[in-house]
Structure 1
Amino acid sequence: MQRISSLAACRELGGLAAASPGVCAWKKGMTCSKQPAAHQQLAGMSVRPFTGVPGAQSRGLCRRRFVFVGQKHRLFSSQPGADGPPGSSGGQPGVSVVGVPDPITWIRCKVIIYLINLYFEIDMSSAEFERGVKQALIHVSNMMSSGRYHKLVGIVSNEMIDYVKTRCKSLTDAQRQHLAVTMDDIIFMLPEDVSVVFDRYGRKYCFIVMRFWFLSTYEGPDDPEGTKIFKVASSEDGNPEKKIVTAVYEFHRELTRGASPDWTVTTVWHWHWKQAE
């Protein structure tokens, strides 16, 4: 089983790396010694219907677009007219695949995502969902880079906005600017944990943790999660050397009937912050 899943993951990685122009502080299953309020515990949580993961409801919920609070029906940067960051990162270096993510985590998340889609009709494997989480990474990283934290209100939880401000204050202006990500920078992403949680009042919540691998001109030690899976070719045109770094974002949505379908970012973590430690 492990061999089969490794081959499947490698096939996905290979396809994405070939199409590109060109695990760390957070470990498997969201366990980390420096985890910043990742799973915010809701009062009275008692039932965990899926193994190892935090909520779920009846099939009465219909399929909905992937939207964030305050950003209903906004276009993604890959679509015409999207309001993502201008421009792209230009000519990207070649990227080759040298490893695969943890296959057990990959299989577990795929199974849970399938069950959530089956029971709640929320497809977290869809292209629309993938575009949505990428756009969230781009928007949040660019607002952090420019210091416009007020632009995160309604998209990122208030607790995480305070955490982000604290982490970014420890960076120099140049280091903070390296936080910005464009769509062309993103190489690959995978779910690291998927959770469905009930509370004692019958409310249901869904959490999904996504890890992103992307290119950056960040100056600092190599990200072991990046070098473990990808290798970047040396730049031959005089442009700054790029490294593959990672970021971890957690997305939260209430599944209770009648609740808002919006997703909120409840965890933000960037490898760049290791510079300030």
Structure 2
Amino acid sequence: MALPVLRGCHRVSSTLKITRLFLNESPVLNRGGRPRLPPPPAQRPLSSAAGGQQNQNQKVVVFGIPNPFIWVRTRMYYFLIRAYFDKEFRIEEFSEGAKQAFSHVSRLLSKCQLDALEGLVAKDLIGKLEEKLNLMPSNYKKALSVEPEEIMYTTPGDVGIYYDDDGRKFVSILMRFWYLTSARLPEDTMEGTRVFQVALGEEGEAETKRLLSAHYEFQREFTKGVAPAWTITKIEHSKLLD
């Protein structure tokens, strides 16, 4: 049974060579979206500044109530991906790999190392990012950089399956990330962001951090004979790089 066309197609300008994500580490996403990851970094306790007391056992907990329609729709897409494209695909494993890719690419953006994004990010997107980064102040660039332990919450967003007129097949997955940053940002442009106090050691002073969000879209061509690789085709850092 042929898979119906679900959405219109847009072309992919480059493919993601996953082995380049970490030059001296394990790949982030392999053929089936199954990451081989290093041991998770130690989490630093978060504290509240309420009443002048610091509770070093308190942690950030993110609550979300998913839209039932979107939840069912995305699960249907995951099923179609496994049934028609990659039987080894698991969204949990893909999400872990995407989180590592997000951290790696965000650090390259922060350092303006755009040449290192070749093969990881779509070529047309790199050009747009370069224009924005050239106009961005240094404190905003610092806020783009995300270490793995600073990622507080990760969740998949929209999923799409595309066909073009030549019969090529594509899958795209939008990932949403929430992360903490210690970069000094102006209050007027950061309205609506949450502020946390992070305890630095048992006796250390609390450091102020902001909770920011980012959206990264991953896309892969599943046409027969094409190398299994993902490309980042969309990058948004809320209030920084939209």
- How many Å apart are 1:100 and its aligned residue? 2.8
Which one of 130, 134, 140 corresponds to residue 105 of structure 2? 140
**Partner amino acid, structure 2, of 1:139:** H
Q: 1:261 and 1:223 mapped to 2: Cα distance?
A: 41
Partner of 2:51: none
Partner of 2:215: 248
Q: Which has the larger radius of gyration?
A: 2
8 Å contact from structure 2 (residues 9, 164) kept in 1: no
**Partner amino acid, structure 2, of 1:187:** M
1:79 aligns with 2:79: no
Distance 1:100 1:241, change over 3 A: farther
**Partner amino acid, structure 1, of 2:17:** V
**Partner amino acid, structure 2, of 1:199:** D
Q: 2:164 and 2:210 mapped to 1: Cα distance?
A: 42
Structure 1: which 5+ runs fail to align? 1-46, 56-66
> Structure 2 length as normaliser, TM-score?
0.72
1:156 aligns with 2:121: yes
- How many Å apart are 1:272 and its aligned residue? 4.1
Q: How far does the alpha carbon of each residue in 1:58-109 deviate from its partner, in whole angstroms, 9 at most, with x for none?
A: xxxxxxxxx93162695159416x9xxxx87854452133543444323321
Q: 1:48 and 1:174 mapped to 2: Cα distance?
A: 47
1:118 aligns with 2:83: yes
- How many Å apart are 1:207 and its aligned residue? 1.0
Q: 1:267 and 1:167 mapped to 2: Cα distance?
A: 14
Structure 2: which 5+ runs fail to align? 29-35, 48-58
Distance 1:142 1:49, change over 3 A: same
Q: 2:234 and 2:196 mapped to 1: Cα distance?
A: 31
1:248 aligns to what SS in structure 2?
Answer: strand
Distance 1:118 1:140, change over 3 A: same
Distance 1:233 1:217, change over 3 A: closer
Distance 1:252 1:149, change over 3 A: same
Q: 2:124 and 2:4 mapped to 1: Cα distance?
A: 24
- How many Å apart are 1:155 and its aligned residue? 0.5
Partner of 1:195: 160
- How many Å apart are 1:244 and its aligned residue? 1.9
Partner of 1:209: 174
Partner of 1:8: none
Q: 2:42 and 2:234 mapped to 1: Cα distance?
A: 26
Aligned length: 206
Higher strand share: 2
Q: 2:126 and 2:85 mapped to 1: Cα distance?
A: 29
8 Å contact from structure 2 (residues 152, 180) kept in 1: yes
Q: Percent identity?
A: 27
Distance 1:191 1:126, change over 3 A: closer
- Cα RMSD of the aligned pairs, angstroms, is 3.2
**Partner amino acid, structure 1, of 2:71:** W
Q: 2:157 and 2:9 mapped to 1: Cα distance?
A: 13
Distance 1:198 1:98, change over 3 A: closer
